[in-house]
Structure 1
């Protein structure tokens, strides 16, 4: 019996000593630092509302195009022969150069034959003119002498009387004359000359091929007069004005030359919902620019009075922001004046209010925050 009591006492003593040691070691262990971040308030950045004049530029990319592009087509049929300027895309030429020539030897021979028959008819009728219309004979004689088979016929003498007019019509002199003039015009149409300095942008034929009447042979542009076509969002058109000066920038954002806004389209592109504006380039210096090249246009836009510019990330639901009141965020509706790529210009808040320009993630009404 005494033995059992001793064993119980030893077990209890062992348990007591173990509990004492555990408590002692626990007291020696340092308490871990509390995680203060869990209780930390979200941080925001604020800006005091203050209005002023703001000049907000509009920066958009556009494509260069010649303001004068011409399609060359044939008004007569015939075989294309060598003209001097190669029919190649990119080939440059000067004003007055022969670009396309259609074989014309047969047409020239036909025209000479017409003139020869006309001279023969005039020669037959000159004696009658001398007798019946003596006061106008010298003019007709001079006209007869100046006709050259290899040159255009001169202007027809002016008919002085009705009787003389009837005589010329009855002998078909007038009809033959205008038939020759028509043939001369058709002969000239076999040669197509450059109307300006430029280059070929499209070639649909080659030497030796046959040009059909009305067929498109090539496309040319005036390379010295380029325009930048820039699509602008329809809501931003109101900030632009004709004759505004425009800065033209390259892909690195460096200034290439200056331009002037010369045209604004009066319709909206259905696909992009943008309006095309056209900028004429000038003050180019030695800058080489090419048709189809993409450049950036920076329009100065109009000055906006009583406005403030903030990051677009500060705005939610299109036209709402947060202001700070007693460390609590309160939503306010603003009047959006202009939207830029990364910023927004507005008014509608009271000057002096604390605007939250960097709200926290998942910001809500009445959220308590601290200022950065």
Structure 2
């Protein structure tokens, strides 16, 4: 029994020792070759250089403002009378229509009283004119005949002699006449009429409000003509021209409008070193305050190309493709926009990258995109 256990123990030890040596042999005999790195050739998109005239387009933006606007102020005091239309924002008026009517009953009575005094004063001198100045009597008689107290006071007859002037002035007629005309002018200020076709954009009073002299009543604008005020670099101050057509786009790029440069400010802003240009635009869809973007064509650069700014390296170089190998050439950038750059001194016929390549370097092996290569050959 004991000898059997001894034999089994020896066999077990031998099996363990054999499995250890067998495992070592298998491990030592297993050879895994190192993988060879694959040579990756990147595919690039290219274009062939063709120099030409590149328009320098200056982007600008701003908010529309009505070209014709009137701020309504009261020059007299009184109660705002109701009119044919409600004095509310958005209300349209035709030229000549009454915007605001202030109660002038009391002041109107004063004007009529002054007219009556003038009429009576002229009437009182008529007997003296008949006797002392018969040669001028008829024209003053005609003046009285045409005098209507319910209408504006007519202009006084022209006085031809010094004696007539002294006589008329000495009786206080001239003073009374100009005083009455002054009252009439002030009476006209109780009514404010629309100076042009437009819409009320702001109303600060309502019917029945007591209006005071100097109080702002609202704003009235013409809705057919608008202006866009934009600030551009002073570099292009001598390149922009009045009357130049400008393309305008809405903020969501959904609509395009045509405008033209109406005015250019002659002064440069000291802080921003920009000049202000005013672009006139007409369209029934436009509203005051709309945000628009403008593209101003400042000039054309001759013998130049326009590429994406990401293709230009910091040291003013770009990549070209020569026999499937990338190379660098120096260029002369002359204008930068938000996404583009205008380059000069790039020879015609060169193949340049049209899209940037990650990790690109001079001497890098590349492959031109097949479909593009076929299109270029066509």
**228 and 15 in structure 1: CA distance in 2 versus 1, 3 angstrom threshold:** closer
The correspondence for 1:340, drawn from 326, 337, 348, is 337
Q: Tell me if the contact between 1:313 and 1:357 (Cα under 8 Å) persists in the aligned partners.
A: no
**14 and 123 in structure 1: CA distance in 2 versus 1, 3 angstrom threshold:** closer
Tell me how far 1:248 sits from its aligned partner: 3.4
Matched, 1:369 2:376: no
**308 and 239 in structure 1: CA distance in 2 versus 1, 3 angstrom threshold:** farther
Q: Tell me if the contact between 1:41 and 1:368 (Cα under 8 Å) persists in the aligned partners.
A: no
**357 and 247 in structure 1: CA distance in 2 versus 1, 3 angstrom threshold:** closer
- What are the superposed Cα offsets for residues 43-93 of structure 1, whole Å, 9 maximum, x if unpaired? 766655542222354454432221011111122222222233322122111
Q: Tell me if the contact between 1:233 and 1:274 (Cα under 8 Å) persists in the aligned partners.
A: yes
Partner of 1:305: 302
SS for the counterpart of 1:302 is: strand
Partner of 2:123: 123
Tell me how far 1:290 sits from its aligned partner: 1.1
TM-score normalised by length of structure 2: 0.80
Matches within 5 A, 1:1-372: 18-24=23-29, 26-27=30-31, 31=33, 33-36=35-38, 40=40, 49-235=49-235, 240-267=240-267, 274-282=274-282, 284=283, 287-317=284-314, 319-321=316-318, 327=325, 330=328, 332=330, 334-351=331-348, 355=352, 358=355, 361=358, 368-372=363-367
Q: Give me the whole-angstrom Cα distance separating, in 1, the residues matched to 2:248 and 2:346.
A: 36
Tell me how far 1:140 sits from its aligned partner: 0.7
**71 and 11 in structure 1: CA distance in 2 versus 1, 3 angstrom threshold:** closer
Q: Tell me if the contact between 1:44 and 1:369 (Cα under 8 Å) persists in the aligned partners.
A: no
Structure 2: tracts of 5 or more residues without a match:
1-10, 368-378
Q: Give me the whole-angstrom Cα distance separating, in 2, the residues matched to 1:243 and 1:101.
A: 41
Q: Give me the whole-angstrom Cα distance separating, in 1, the residues matched to 2:278 and 2:224.
A: 16
Tell me how far 1:126 sits from its aligned partner: 0.7
Tell me how far 1:192 sits from its aligned partner: 0.7
Tell me how far 1:354 sits from its aligned partner: 5.9
**209 and 320 in structure 1: CA distance in 2 versus 1, 3 angstrom threshold:** farther
Q: Tell me if the contact between 1:204 and 1:217 (Cα under 8 Å) persists in the aligned partners.
A: yes
Q: Give me the whole-angstrom Cα distance separating, in 2, the residues matched to 1:165 and 1:355.
A: 92
Q: Give me the whole-angstrom Cα distance separating, in 2, the residues matched to 1:246 and 1:222.
A: 22
Tell me how far 1:119 sits from its aligned partner: 2.0
- What are the superposed Cα offsets for residues 162-195 of structure 1, whole Å, 9 maximum, x if unpaired? 1111111111011111111111111111111100
Q: Give me the whole-angstrom Cα distance separating, in 2, the residues matched to 1:12 and 1:162.
A: 152
**124 and 238 in structure 1: CA distance in 2 versus 1, 3 angstrom threshold:** closer
Q: Give me the whole-angstrom Cα distance separating, in 1, the residues matched to 2:275 and 2:26.
A: 85
- Aligned residue pair count: 356
Q: Give me the whole-angstrom Cα distance separating, in 1, the residues matched to 2:366 and 2:235.
A: 35
**371 and 123 in structure 1: CA distance in 2 versus 1, 3 angstrom threshold:** same
Tell me how far 1:116 sits from its aligned partner: 1.6
Q: Give me the whole-angstrom Cα distance separating, in 2, the residues matched to 1:90 and 1:101.
A: 18
